[in-house]
């Protein structure tokens, strides 16, 4: 299956380089793409800095892809990967215990895959995840929060095989005045909806990280579906 992917950047990137980049991104070292041209344009610009949406084709037929949207995975698998790569504020014993529990029980062997499909933890999504491990929001609220602002999914190339198979087919320019404003609006919308709707909206029966740990819940627990 041929998949069209976009990568937002301040540069035109004709050949993504394996082993190059920031190791502390959401899924570790890799080449971060999206199926959405709109998202790539937003990601490619900075304040006062124009960017590019680089366009590629990738033959996924022989690739081993970890799709975190598949039924056997849940939001806690995504969070466990995030905890391994991003720097979280761990202000309490609860947050430290939560981190250790999630890493021990919900960590997929993501480095064994050629590519990963999953949420993108921009600043707003990252704060939602941090609230969860701090016990501020419930499991249900975290799940709902991940859909606020429609920040979309990432497709991340991880292996040399995946890098060897990607083919550059062109680019589109992204004007900073237009696309940075859209980028900020999307993040602001996610945050506003979160604080207005989710953060103060507890429901009877909500699961919090304390209960998940105390009852030693595992990925196959029906309460986590």
Residues 65-123: pLDDT tens digits?
A: 999 989 999 999 999 999 998 877 776 789 999 999 999 999 999 999 999 999 876 66
**SS3 call for 204:** coil
Which pLDDT belongs to residue 199? 65
Residue 136 has a CB neighbour count (10 Å cut-off) of 14
Residues 2-47: pLDDT tens digits?
A: 999 999 999 999 999 998 877 788 899 999 999 999 999 999 999 9
For residue 73, the number of C-alpha atoms closer than 13 Å in the C-beta half-sphere is 19
Rounded Cα–Cα distance for residues 12 and 118 (Å):
24
Which pLDDT belongs to residue 200? 67
CA distances from 112 to 116, 129, 178 (A): 10, 24, 39
Which pLDDT belongs to residue 197? 62
pLDDT of 202 strictly over 90 = no
Rounded Cα–Cα distance for residues 27 and 215 (Å):
28
Rounded Cα–Cα distance for residues 53 and 74 (Å):
30
Which pLDDT belongs to residue 20? 83
């Amino acid at each position: 299956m041929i998949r069209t992917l976009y990568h937002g950047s301040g540069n035109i990137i004709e050949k993504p380089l394996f082993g190059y980049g920031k190791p502390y991104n959401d899924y570790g070292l890799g080449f971060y793409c999206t199926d959405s041209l709109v998202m790539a344009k937003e990601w490619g610009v900075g304040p006062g800095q124009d960017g590019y949406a680089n366009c590629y084709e990738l033959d996924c037929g022989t690739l081993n892809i970890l799709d975190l949207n598949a039924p056997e995975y849940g939001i806690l698998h995504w969070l466990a990967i995030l905890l391994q790569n991003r720097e979280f504020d761990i202000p309490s014993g609860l947050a430290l215990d939560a981190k250790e529990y999630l890493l021990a029980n919900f960590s997929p062997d993501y480095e064994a895959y050629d590519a990963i499909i999953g949420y993108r933890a921009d600043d707003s999504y990252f704060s939602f995840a941090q609230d969860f491990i701090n016990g501020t929001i419930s499991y249900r609220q975290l799940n709902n929060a991940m859909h606020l602002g429609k920040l979309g999914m990432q497709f991340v190339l991880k292996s040399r095989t995946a890098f060897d198979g990607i083919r550059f087919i062109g680019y589109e320019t992204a004007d900073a005045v237009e696309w940075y404003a859209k980028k900020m609006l999307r993040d602001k919308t996610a945050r506003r909806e979160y604080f207005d709707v989710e953060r103060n909206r507890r429901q009877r029966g909500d699961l919090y990280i304390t209960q998940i740990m105390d009852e030693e819940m595992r990925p196959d627990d029906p309460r986590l579906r």
